[in-house]
Amino acid sequence: MQGNEDSMIQAQLQPLLEQLRVLADDHRDEPEALLLFLRELEALHRDVQEGAFRNSLPEDRQQLFGFLQTLERSGGWPYIPRLQLKTFIALLDQGPADMAA
């Protein structure tokens, strides 16, 4: 049953994800717009994680353990890592030849 639900969600997500990819591509030369885009995606991630996802977690210990095992088998926790400002500054400090390597 779970596989069926996953494919239904995937079918609903695909057109939305494609629209987001097109939007990002349309603004590929606009770092401010892309930064806003990334911030909004991160905010959505947080809202889903702290709201619907957290509320959907099993309350029974055995069911929760089973869910955590499934989570681990399927690739772990979904997370959108932020580029550390120090890393970004370090990249800017590199010469053009270093960045191409």
pLDDT digits (tens, 9 = 90+) for 42-72: 999 999 988 998 899 888 888 888 888 888 8
HSE toward the beta carbon, residue 24, CA cutoff 13 A: 12
Distance in Å from the first CA to the final CA of the chain: 47
Under 8 Å between Cβ of 66 and 74: no
Domain assignment of residue 50, given as a range: 30-100
Joined together, the tokens standing for residue 78 give: 């979904």
Q: Which residue has the higher pLDDT, 1 or 7?
A: 7
Which pLDDT value is given to residue 97? 62
CA 86 to CA 92: how far, in whole Å? 10
Q: Is residue 39 part of a domain?
A: yes
Q: Is residue 4 part of a domain?
A: no
> For the chain, what is the domain count?
1
